[in-house]
Chains A and B, each alone.
Chain A
């Protein structure tokens, strides 16, 4: 059984487009996160959600917006995509905000 899943696995799109990445966890965890891993493999927190409430919001552009329809899902919407948005985006979840378990990642390429 997949614990944290993401779709799509690969996403190739043109600059200026709007896209979404979906994330689901079946672990019953309270908190979910989005991380960005850039071309140099540096992994950085973007957002976290705890019981559908945004807890932290790092200094990411407001073109990025997380949306959580329920505790098991945290989707990432990106508007007006730019070249610099190309990266691997990881969803993660954790019980009580501690040990975090990652999804398989979505490789976004903006052309």
Chain B
């Protein structure tokens, strides 16, 4: 059974610091990895996707993937109070280009950026 594990938090980070969010997954055939941000009462919003080992940067966000360790992380640089939200790690076993499997989500990490 596919599982995605995250520390539920809350993770408290001072404003301007780097927030580091971690996720592990159990299904070795997983190929696609996503980070979603969810504000309270809102829907999940896609902020990063990563498919290959290594780092992927987009603005203040960096996703890191290590398939050998079955580990994916999200770094948020220069954290802002508006980054306070729940961050959901999601995994899809299929690479882009086909299939319709649903995503397997972790339970999310609640991030609090302290002004």
Do the two chains belong together in a single complex?
yes
> Chain A: residues with CB nearer than 8 A to chain B?
31, 33, 35, 40-50, 55-56, 58, 90, 96-105
- A43-B96 in contact given A35-B102, A48-B102, A97-B101 (Cβ < 8 Å): no
Contact B100 A97 (CB under 8 A): yes
Contact A98 B43 (CB under 8 A): no
Closest 9 CB pairs of A and B: A45-B102, A55-B100, A50-B100, A102-B43, A97-B100, A98-B96, A43-B105, A97-B99, A48-B100
Is the CB of B104 closer than 8 A to any CB of chain A? yes
Contact B43 A104 (CB under 8 A): yes
With a cutoff of 8 Å between Cβ atoms, the chain A residues found around residue B97 in the complex are 96, 98
Count the B residues whose beta carbon is within 8 Å of the partner chain — how many? Answer: 27
| One of B42, B45, B88, B102 near A33 (C-beta < 8 A) | B102
With a cutoff of 8 Å between Cβ atoms, the chain A residues found around residue B100 in the complex are 31, 48-50, 55-56, 97
Contact A90 B92 (CB under 8 A): no
How far apart sit A49 and B99, CA to CA, in the bound complex (Å)? 10
| One of A40, A42, A56 near B102 (C-beta < 8 A) | A56
Is the CB of B25 closer than 8 A to any CB of chain A? no
How far apart sit A101 and B103, CA to CA, in the bound complex (Å)? 11
